[in-house]
Amino acid sequence: MKYAFKDREKLYFVLEYCHGGELFFYLTNLRRFKENAAQFYSANILLAIKALHEHNIIYRDLKPENILIDAQGFALLTDFGLSKENMTDESRAKSLCGTAEYLAPEVLQKERAYGKECDWWSFGCVIYEMLTGHPPFYSNDRKQMFEDIK
């Protein structure tokens, strides 16, 4: 984020222009990545999550739509609206938030608390999607299950 400001109705964020667009765009058009491309983007994402966790932030909404590609081809995370601060290794969250296809099991189980590990589950889901062209565990039955939770 470069700058933020608000008026009476909205909060505005000024972000770096990411010439490459969303990772989702490339997955939609290419269906899946070659292994070396998936490795490169995975390394970028891993470093971003690691930096967030070192600052006691859990991201909670890792998905291809929230990964932007900058002008040099590096992956950047965007949309921190579901992130949670002050999450030490011992801290736990309980709110159900994120995107269905990428949610860790402990996030789905409302009675169970979770921590930073939920981001690593989502990270694995994104890697799987980059390599296969579709998110893991996705089916019409699972889609209906998430509709029922809402």
User: Known catalytic residue: 141?
Assistant: no
Residue 146 pLDDT more than 70? no
> Per residue in 97-125, pLDDT tens?
888 889 888 888 877 888 899 999 999 99
| Active-site choice (7, 61, 70, 119) | 61
pTM strictly above 0.85 = no
Per-residue pLDDT band at 15 (split at 50, 70, 90): confident
Per-position DSSP letters for the chain, written without gaps between them:
--EEEE-SS-EEEE----TTEEHHHHHHHHSS--HHHHHHHHHHHHHHHHHHHHTT-B----SGGGEEE-TTS-EEE---TT-BSS--TT--B----S-GGG--HHHHSTTS-B-THHHHHHHHHHHHHHHHSS-TT--HHHHHHHHHH-
Q: Which domains does the chain have, with CATH numbers?
A: 21-149 (1.10.510.10)
> Per residue in 51-75, pLDDT tens?
999 999 999 999 999 999 998 999 9
Quote the pLDDT of residue 147.
58
